[in-house]
Amino acid sequence: MLSEIKNLLTTLDSVGIAEVAIEEAPDEKGFTLVRGADSKNNIVVFHKINGEYVDAMMGVQTVRGLLARIDLFDISKAQMSSSVNNGYITDITLKQGRRTSTFRCADPKRLQIPKRVPSNLNLDQKIVLPGDYVANITTAISAMGLTGSKMERNISLSLKGDVLTTTIFDGEDDNFSDEFIVDGGQDLDDFTSTWDIPAFQLVLKESKAANNGDAVFAVSEHKIGIFDIGLVNVLLIPLTK
């Protein structure tokens, strides 16, 4: 189970998830609910994965911190034990031979993570962006980043019919736009959503890595971006104006 925990934490850390609660899915036996967020709440995870990862709810205040502790050990030889109090794991102990490390877990109720997400989080209306288009977007983001205001930059994706328009705003006066024709065989709802550029770049990169070079995503009725990054889907929270 330690290898599964490490794999999950590595996936979460790749998109900047800082805090996470891992618990048995309340309505599906044999599944684990993963809830977490990055430090700015731009990227969120609220996803059920197959398998039982923990015996009690576990709160992790620093994903990277726990991952660093696990990296001190050979996971094929190390053992993990835990202490439980008031229904959640309070401490984790890692042991391999004479080497031991402890990690104090957080009270999941005190973490700044979502308790629920008011949206349909599946990928039924997914859009697949081919690798060459992803590369074009990445290049355009870099080019637009040479002018304007870093704090005000954003990226918008808008779907109308089968035309997906990407618009990158430099934060002041200039923008770049490009169009992509999505798979005509899909019946997709129109949408427009605007996101933080660094957060968008992170999830786009990991979605591409998990899907053979293509990025796979959908947009919910609440304009939340849902990106497939392999083990979990992560949510890109829209900017409010």
User: What does the domain layout of the chain look like in residue ranges?
Assistant: 2-110, 127-236
User: Does 2-110 match 127-236 in CATH topology?
Assistant: yes
Angle (nearest 5°) at CA 16 between 174 and 35: 120
Q: Which of 94, 114, 118 is nearest to 105 (CA)?
A: 94
In the chain, % helix, strand, coil (3-state, to 5) comes to 25, 40, 40
Instruction: Decide: helix, strand or coil at residue 21.
Output: strand
Which amino acid belongs to residue 3? S
Distance separating alpha carbons of residues 152 and 170, to the nearest angstrom: 7
Query: What does CATH list as the number for 127-236?
Result: 3.10.150.10
CA distances from 107 to 60, 87, 103 (A): 8, 10, 13
Instruction: Decide: helix, strand or coil at residue 147.
Output: coil
CA distances from 75 to 2, 10, 18, 100 (A): 7, 14, 22, 13
Which amino acid belongs to residue 77? K
Show pLDDT as tens, one digit a residue, over the chain (241 residues): 899 999 999 999 999 999 999 999 988 889 999 999 999 999 999 999 999 999 999 999 999 999 999 999 999 999 999 999 999 999 999 999 999 999 999 999 999 999 988 767 888 889 999 999 999 999 999 999 999 999 999 999 999 999 999 999 999 999 999 999 998 656 788 999 999 999 999 999 999 999 999 999 999 999 999 999 999 999 999 997 5
CB atoms within 10 A of CB 150: 10
- Residue written as token pair 């969120």: 44
Query: In this structure, are residues 232 and 12 in contact, taking their beta carbons and an 8 Å threshold?
Result: yes
Query: What does CATH list as the number for 2-110?
Result: 3.10.150.10
DSSP string, 187-205: ----EEEEEEHHHHHHHHH
Q: Which of 11, 7, 9, 2 is nearest to 229 (CA)?
A: 11
Report pLDDT for 185: 58
- In this prediction the pTM is 0.94
